[in-house]
Amino acid sequence: MDLMKGKKGIIFGVSNTHGIAYGIAKQLHEAGADIAFSYAGEAMEKRVRPIAESMGAKLIMSCDVTKEDEVAAVFKEVEKVYGKIDFVVHAVAFAPKEALMGRFIDTTKDAWDTALGVSAFSLVTVAKYAEPIMNEGSSILALTYLGSILSVPSYNVMGVAKAALESAMRFLAVDLGPKGIRVNCLSSGPVKTLASMGISGFSKMLKAAVLRSPLDKNVSLDDVGKAGLYLASDLSSGTTGEVVYCDCGCHSAYASAEEMDILGSAE
């Protein structure tokens, strides 16, 4: 498939072969895209570099997205290596582990600032430095989750951060639209990743997703990767300012028939 042949871009947030960012990178690469990779510090390099090299990356660079000078340096190097680019994938999120346990009301100011800084404001910084080197018709894609609009047990401050991310996406879509740059969020169902395993009770979230899904299953990495390919490619040329769900319908269902049966039997 040559859907992305001649297209160039960068992905922030690939950390291993089990994550959503990797699923998107794989689909982009197989469709012919030329991808640059960033990684979060030396500790992550040994994980990211083999993945990037397997996809023929011409640029593999460290970047702390909370540091504006590092983001600026990455895009300066991207322009040197690739010239103008066609897509940016923002797959960066973090909150202290203790903030993903217990009650949301106990969230500390430091945890709040960290979660929103890394997971939401970084999209603004990335978009700011990407804008000057993006072609007309290009795409910026950020990853979100249903916890942005619903209270999900133990997701806590990350839900607030994802809500901020989605709101920022809409404002960025308006700012960048006149230049022909689309900005969207992809809301995936729960996927067993390195990051998700830090969420208390995540295994229950996986089971709940299957129970709630109209398709009676949870999403696969390929499912989400293909949705990411759609949003990064010209196939989504008329889509911007949107949260696109790839969660087997979980976001659309109040409760499954099985859940209703369980509740009915408890009466």
Composition of the chain by helix, strand, coil, percent to 5: 50, 15, 35
Residue with tokens 């997703």: 209
> How far apart are alpha carbons 127 and 32 in whole angstroms?
23
Determine the Cα–Cα distance for residues 100 and 161; give it in Å rounded to an integer.
Answer: 12
C-alpha pair distances (Å), 132 with each of 6, 63, 257: 19, 19, 50
Side-chain-side CA neighbours of residue 265 (13 Å): 5
Which two structure tokens, joined as six digits, stand for 121?
């404001």
Q: What angle do CA 243, 30, 126 make, to 5 degrees?
A: 45
Query: For residue 36, which of 111, 89, 102 has the smallest C-alpha distance?
Result: 89
Catalytic residue positions? 145, 155
Q: How far apart are CA 162 and CA 145, in angstroms?
A: 7
In single-letter form, the type of residue at position 3 comes to L
Name the token pair of 35: 């991808």
Side chain identity, residue 239? T
